[in-house]
Amino acid sequence: MSLHLPELPFAKDSLAPHMSADTFDYHHGKHHNAYVVKGNELLADAGIEGTDLEQLVHDTAKIGGALFNNVGQHYNHSFFWNSLSPNGGGAPTGDIAARIDADFGSLDEFKAQFVAGGVSQFGSGWVWLVERDGKLAIEKSANAETPLTSGAKPLVVCDVWEHAYYLDFQNRRPDFLASYIDNLVNWDFANANLAA
């Protein structure tokens, strides 16, 4: 088995009301698990083994199709759980705070651009804070795609597939994205990725 469903790095009821235990039962327990199960089937069919997830993302991106979609979704979801924290949101600290001020002008401007990026992703996908070419940037990706495969360093991500927010926010994707920045985003994870 190359892919393993990670434990959530927090209690599944600890992000409510911003993200409910019901959402995690479906999103982590069913959606993410399905990508892991299917991804392992397709990796076995393709004769690909390996446990380094970033390497598997790079390798399967060259192949594409259902194989990449399942491996990419496993990577994206694992990154998303780590991008959330019961103590998240609010003003960042450390290097990421200074870099946001330098590259976006202010936390408010960063938030506005992040929400706009997630809202403008048509259909299913993701909105990311990345470091690319030495600058912080907001990038969106469709379906299972990730900026990792085009040379950026992902810092945090928010899932904008409807399954990420429909139980808690119904169709209000803009409110979900604002709540992510205000209440959930894990700045410690962003700082750790920035420093890596």
**Positions at the binding site for Mn(2+):** 27, 77, 159, 163
Dist. CA 106–CA 7, nearest whole Å = 34
What lies within 8 Å, CB to CB, of 77 at 6+ separation is: 27, 28, 31, 32, 35, 159
Size of the site for Mn ion (CB under 5 A): 2
Q: Does 180 bind Mn ion (CB under 5 A)?
A: no
Q: Which is nearer to Mn ion, 79 or 104 (CB)?
A: 79
159 binds Mn ion (CB under 5 A): yes
The window from 45-53, 57-65, 154-162, 181-189 that contacts Mn ion (CB under 5 A) reads 154-162
Dist CA 85 CA 79 (whole Å): 12
Contact region for Mn ion (CB under 5 A) — 106-114, 121-129, 158-166, 170-178?
158-166
**Least separation in angstroms between CB 156 and Mn ion:** 15
Judged by beta carbon, residue 81 or residue 161, the one nearer Mn ion is: 161
Q: What are phi and psi of 126, to 5 degrees?
A: -145, 150
Query: Tokens 């750790």 correspond to what residue?
Result: 192
Site for Mn ion in 29-48 (CB under 5 A): none
Give buried/exposed letters for 128-149 (b at 16+ CB in 10 A, else e). Answer: bbbbeeeebbbbbbeebbbbbb
Q: Which two tokens stand for residue 127?
A: 């909105």
User: HEC string of 154-168?
Assistant: EEEEEECCHHHHHHH
Q: Does 126 bind Mn ion (CB under 5 A)?
A: no
Considering the complex, what minimum distance in angstroms separates the CB of residue 159 from Mn ion? 4
- List residues forming the annotated binding site: 27, 77, 159, 163
The answer to whether 27 touches 15, Cβ cutoff 8 Å, is: no
Q: Of 28 and 99, which has the nearer Cβ to Mn ion?
A: 28
Of 35-43, 64-72, 89-97, 157-165, the window that binds Mn ion (rule: CB under 5 A) is 157-165
Tell me: does residue 161 bind Mn ion (CB under 5 A): yes
165 sits near Mn ion (criterion: CB under 5 A): no
Binding residues (CB under 5 A) for Mn ion: these are 159, 161
